[in-house]
Amino acid sequence: MDAILLQILNGLDKGSAYALIALGLTLIFGTLGVVNFAHGALFMIGAFCSVTLSRLFSLSHKVEVPGETDFLGNPLKKDVPYLYDIFGESTGAAIIDWAVPLSILFAIPIMLAVGYAMERGLIKHFYKRPHADQILVTFGLAIVLQEVIKYYFGANPIPTPAPSAFTGSFDFGAMLGFDPNTIIYPYWRLVYFAFAVVIIGAVFSFLQFTTFGMVVRAGMADRETVGLLGINIDRRFTIMFGIAAAVAGLAGVMYAPINSPNYHMGMDFLVLSFVVVVVGGMGSLPGAVLAGFLLGVLESFASMREVIDLIPGINQVIIYLVAIIILLTRPRGLMGRKGVMED
């Protein structure tokens, strides 16, 4: 029982990332009809927003420490972040410590701008071209984005710690009456899960309760009709693309402490997120979220010792296997509308 609970918890953080990326992918597909292979790159850019802000915060200058010398006899110099000068030492240190959550504020305008530029500059010209062309050009864009990041940040993963308040683990087992230390779970992953739930909730309520969202949903259902009503759906779709980019970016920002960002993390997540979208149903928002969490949890179950002993290697392929079975038996996915790309 405790093992099962642990696996569910373990699946949640990865599932959250899958769900957030897939949400954006399916939003773009549903509204714009575009298959975006560069979406993983947006996730990666988000993660590097965290990296950038932590570095900016840590920018420092040398200050001599009075009365001390190094081993060569020169006066000892120590790095003092500029933030200490501005806010004083304790506030400054706290800001540096909280760089990752603070990056959210920093990343939102950046991701919206990146999404806007991508849609207006490139994607717009591909609405009428075949899906294969969309895949190819966004694949090219993904390569370009990841190479740019690699150029500036190097090829190695960059550790980006969570605030020290969240470094420990939470003992679920003790809370639920199991033996202590049987179910322990890092705090930051709990934060990530809660964050994902908030973002998903925000996107859904935005679509559900605002007129903007209503028009977009109508547009997803039937693009031509809404166009006939004289509503400028194209502009709204551009904004939608920006939002999708922001969701992927924020997913990346908060993921940085879980997995040190590297330039190819976007590609790694892209393939899996596509699988998630397909399993959930192309163009279905609840489907993407459901499938994201489902596959995340399924993956962590498949990594259990007992399961691997039974079917070796199952943890590596479970997601793909599910996708293949779904595609062959129910091509519209778990919650996809009938007829969407069903051929």
Partner 1 sequence: MFGLEKKDTSLLLIVAVLTMFAPFILNPFPTDSALAQFNAGYPDLMQRFVIFGIFAIGFNILFGLTGYLSFGHAAFLGVGSYAAVWMFKLIGMNVLPAILLAIIVSGLFSVIIGYVSLRRSGIYFSILTLAFAQMSFALAYSVLTPITGGETGLQLALDDPRILGVSQTAEGNIPVPSLFGLEMRSTAELVVGPWEFVFNVGYYTSALFMLASFYLAIRIFRSPFGMMLRAVKSNQQRMNYTGLNTRPYTLAAFVISGMYAGLAGGLMASMDPLAGAERMQWTASGEVVLMTILGGAGTLIGPVLGAGFIKYFENIFSKINDNVLHGWFAFLPDGMEDFVVFIIHPFIGKGWHLTLGILFMMVVIFLPGGLVEGGQRISSWVRGRKSEDKAKGKTEPAE
Question: Residue 186 CB, nearest distance to partner 1 (Å)?
Answer: 26
Q: Tell the smallest beta-carbon distance from residue 280 to partner 1 (Å).
A: 13
Does residue 231 bind partner 1 (CB under 8 A)? Answer: no
With a CB cutoff of 8 Å and minimum separation 6, the contacts of 306 are none
Closest separation between CB of residue 289 and partner 1, Å?
Answer: 19
Query: Least distance (Å) from partner 1 to the CB of residue 274?
Result: 6
Of 75, 88, 109, 140, the one binding partner 1 by CB under 8 A: 140
Report CA dihedral (84, 89, 90, 93) to the nearest 10 degrees: 50
The residue whose two tokens read 């420092």 is: 60
| Contact positions with partner 1 (CB under 8 A) in 187-206 | none
Of these, 56, 174, 304, 327, which contacts partner 1 (CB under 8 A)?
327
Selection from 111, 83, 99, 71 nearest residue 164 by Cα: 99
Tell me whether residue 246 or residue 276 sits nearer to partner 1 (CB atom).
276
Indicate the burial class of 25 (C-beta count within 10 angstroms; 0-12, 13-18, 19 or more). buried
Q: What is the DSSP string of 258-284?
A: TS---TTHHHHHHHHHHHHHHHH-TT-
Please tell me the distance from the alpha carbon of residue 47 to that of residue 142, in angstroms, as a whole number.
Answer: 15
Q: Write out the binding residues for partner 1, residues 40-99 only, by CB under 8 A.
A: none
Given a contact cutoff of 8 angstroms between Cβ atoms, the answer to whether 335 and 287 are in contact is yes
98 to each of 46, 57, 299, how far by Cα in Å?
A: 16, 10, 31
Q: Among the candidate windows 56-64, 229-237, 294-302, 316-324, which touches partner 1 by CB under 8 A?
A: 316-324
- 316 lies in the binding site for partner 1 (CB under 8 A): yes
For the record, the structure tokens of 6 come out as 């642990």
List the structure tokens of 302: 């498949």
Task: Kindly state whether residue 165 participates in binding partner 1, applying the rule CB under 8 A.
Answer: no
* 131 forms part of the interface with partner 1 (CB under 8 A): yes
Within 243-302, the residues that bind partner 1 by CB under 8 A are 267, 271, 274-275, 278, 282
Which stretches of the chain bind partner 1, using CB under 8 A?
Answer: 35, 122, 125, 131-133, 135-137, 139-144, 147-148, 150-151, 267, 271, 274-275, 278, 282, 312-313, 316-317, 320-321, 323-324, 327-328, 331, 341, 343
